[in-house]
Amino acid sequence: MRQVVSLELKKAFRTKGFYIALMVGLLISLYHTVWIYRYAYAPNNVEYEKVTELGEMDKEYGYWYEIGVLDGWLGTELLSPCNQLFYLLLPFLAVLPYGSQLFSEWNNGYAGQMIIRCGRRRYLTARGIAAFVSGGCVIAIPLLVNFLSIACFMPIIGTDPMALQSVVPGRALLGDIVYEAPALYAAWYIFIDFIYGGLFALMALAITQFCYNRFVLMILPLMFNCCMYYGIHNLIPDINAYNISLIPNPAQQGMKLTWHSLFLSMSGMFLILIVLFAASNYKKDVLRTGDSSMTYVKNPNYWDADNVTVDEMNV
């Protein structure tokens, strides 16, 4: 099992999709860093120099607050378009590395050969782990790089409550550490986004058997996320705390996230995807050809698949 997982992880981190998704995320991170320095950090310093030259009797004296790293981090900064763009593309970027590769491997017969060699359970488990880890990495790495780059010129200090400049409400989940330990808040949400990146990659695996076009397979998680955002967020705002399209965003806007809703939505989504993924690949092998025809081979012992012959596989 360890060898199969290691093989799939190596494949996942060497695909073109992984490099493309990572590059897109890093480009958004880099653009955001430059934008923050130019339009937030530099004007704030100019305002500081202006205020320090005023006398204590001036009515504008003291109207300046130092901005910290969370005021400029990609996850909690809403002045630029980068936050909305990144979290809009999150499902698509998560699927790119390895979420859609299973579709190709059913087409070219590679999946059947792997099932013969290592068994269905080992192969599908390894594929799920590789997709989850690679999908999580292409989301977490740009957020981490952005935090470190912003921290190079903005201090790691909590937002001053008197400044009223924090986008994270004080009543929000972990809202208190926004003012006390901003690095811990960023680390926590990078971990949450890693998990959700992996879950969206698993979503592509779970619906592979129901799609006949790879492009549709890659777009469906993004469309599902958009429907959840614009549908539930606008039509049923009372359950926004369970909306998986809002939870990954560290800004926590328009929701009242709790530990209960976070755990329930995350574990519920994970269990549904695992059950759907296992059920759609249970006791049958699918060999898709170029004309989209499908061959089903049923075997009562196919989940173990340790004694499946080439004749049974029709490959």
Q: Report the C-alpha gap between 178 and 251 in whole angstroms.
A: 11
DSSP code string of 222-289: HHHHHHIIIIIHHH-GGGGGG-TTTTT-TT-TT----HHHHHHHHHHHHHHHHHHHHHHTSSEEEEE-
The C-alpha torsion from 59 through 61 and 63 to 67, rounded to 10°, is 170
pLDDT at 309 over 80: no
Q: What is the mean pLDDT of residues 219-227?
A: 91
Closest CA to 140 of 72, 74, 78: 74
Sign of the torsion angle spanned by Cα atoms 85, 151, 179, 49: negative
Angle at CA of residue 94, ends 16 and 252, nearest 5°: 150
Q: What is the mean pLDDT of residues 175-179?
A: 85
pLDDT by residue (tens digit) across 39-58?
A: 989 888 888 777 777 766 66
- pLDDT of res. 285: 53
Q: What is the mean pLDDT of residues 7-19?
A: 90
Q: How many CB atoms lie within 10 A of CB 192?
A: 19
Q: Report the C-alpha gap between 203 and 273 in whole angstroms.
A: 6
- pLDDT of res. 49: 79
Q: Contact, 216 vs 102, CB < 8 A?
A: no
Say what the pTM is. Answer: 0.84
As a whole number of Å, the CA-based R_g of the chain is: 23
Q: Contact, 57 vs 137, CB < 8 A?
A: no
Q: What is the mean pLDDT of residues 193-211?
A: 91
